């Protein structure tokens, strides 16, 4: 009986997944897309005293894995971490891994957007891509990851009220609207994070099934 209870407890723990982000916008997007039957998604608010993860990796992959592994070890749950970067062709891939702090450590979205427009002033090539890396980590420390890419271009000025980050400036390939002009449902079907999460859900579905 003790063995059966232990197995049931382990299965219950396996069906919970901690989303390793304190960004409410990211959390909302992930919850909308990564919705697997029988899986309970938890946020950092569901735990006490989780460590703050310093995103000091040289790549998106390193940051995503670090977040997922750190919080999986701290919480005892499977954890899902992500890192996203905007890679602009004319800026040789910048801001890339520094996208969230492009205008400085304490900058906001508006400051990042303003700096990006200044850096692209006069540039003929405004092509860019969003790249999102999703990492899944276990309490043992084992981790794996997938990535999603959305190609597009940078608009001349911010447009739209939805989304966050560089969404008011990014026009996805095949569209005239920026991400910020699309509804959340429309954006999720084509976005880098949406594509990464769809791949993650397909590839890791068995990880959460009985």
pLDDT (tens digit, 9 = 90+) per residue, 122-167? 999 999 999 999 999 999 999 999 999 999 999 999 999 998 999 9
Mean pLDDT of the chain: 88
Section 56-84 average pLDDT: 95
pLDDT > 70 in the chain, percent? 91
Give the model's confidence band at 3: pLDDT under 50 very low, under 70 low, under 90 confident, else very high.
Answer: very low
Among residues 90, 45, 44, which one has the least CA distance to residue 71? 44
Q: Could you give the CA distance from residue 152 to residue 16 in angstroms, rounded to a whole number?
A: 35
- Cis peptide before 209, with omega less than 30 degrees from 0? no
Token output for 145? 């990851």
Record: fold of 2-208:
Maf protein (3.90.950)
Looking at residue 38, what is its pLDDT?
75
Q: Could you give the CA distance from residue 85 to residue 22 in angstroms, rounded to a whole number?
A: 17
pLDDT at 11 over 60: no
User: Which residues are identified as catalytic?
Assistant: 83
Q: Could you give the CA distance from residue 156 to residue 133 in angstroms, rounded to a whole number?
A: 27
| Domain coordinates in residue numbering, the chain | 2-208
pTM: 0.85
Looking at residue 208, what is its pLDDT?
66
């Amino acid at each position: 009986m003790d063995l059966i209870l232990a197995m049931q407890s382990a299965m219950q723990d396996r069906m919970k997944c901690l989303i390793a982000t304190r960004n409410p916008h990211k959390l909302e997007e992930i919850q909308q897309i990564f919705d697997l039957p029988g899986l309970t998604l938890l946020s950092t608010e569901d735990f006490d005293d989780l460590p703050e993860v310093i995103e000091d990796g040289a790549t998106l992959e390193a940051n995503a894995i670090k977040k997922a592994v750190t919080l999986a070890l701290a919480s005892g749950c499977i954890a899902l971490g992500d890192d996203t970067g905007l890679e602009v062709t004319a800026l040789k891939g910048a801001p890339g891994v520094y996208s969230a702090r492009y205008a400085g450590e304490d900058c906001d979205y508006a400051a990042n957007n303003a700096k990006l427009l200044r850096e692209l002033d006069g540039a003929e090539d405004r092509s860019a891509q969003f790249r999102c890396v999703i990492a899944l980590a276990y309490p043992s420390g084992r981790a794996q990851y997938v990535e999603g890419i959305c190609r597009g271009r940078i608009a001349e000025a911010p447009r739209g009220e939805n989304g966050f980050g560089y969404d008011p400036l990014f026009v996805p390939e095949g569209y005239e609207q920026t991400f910020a002009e699309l509804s959340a449902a429309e954006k999720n079907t084509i976005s880098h994070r949406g594509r990464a999460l769809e791949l993650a859900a397909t590839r890791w579905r068995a990880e959460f099934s009985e």
